[in-house]
Amino acid sequence: MAKVAYSGTGDFDAIVKLIVNETTRHGLTCELKDSSTVTVGEYPAIMLVFEKYYMRNKSRASLSVLVTGGDSIHVSAISSGGGVGILLNFTWGAESDFVNIIASLMESNGFHSIY
């Protein structure tokens, strides 16, 4: 598992669209599997779930991205899966590679890491 979290400002819908477009551009096997949108009080929140096949270890990794709006926009991403093996579960960096798509995207758009 790998995770990142960022905070910044901007248009909520534009940030979500950017995340979807840029994440699915990273390989033919990367796709948005589903999403769920809710409003908490007056603030929007969306959960995006991506999946990508990694040929180097013949496995799939999942990337869950939570985007919440308000005075600032928070983006949290957690990647899991992508490992092979029953006992040792070698990922060969698949989880980190997948979550780093979000890290690079957020940093290049002026967001700062929360942790």
pLDDT in tens, 4-60: 999 999 999 999 999 999 999 987 888 999 999 999 899 999 999 999 887 665 677
pLDDT at 12: 96
As a CATH number, domain 2-109 is: 3.30.310
pLDDT at 92: 52
Q: What are the structural domain ranges in the chain?
A: 2-109
Residue 60 is predicted with a pLDDT of 79
Query: What distances in angstroms separate CA 21 from CA 47, 50, 102, one per listed residue?
Result: 15, 11, 11
What are the residues facing 62 on neighbouring strands?
Answer: 51, 80
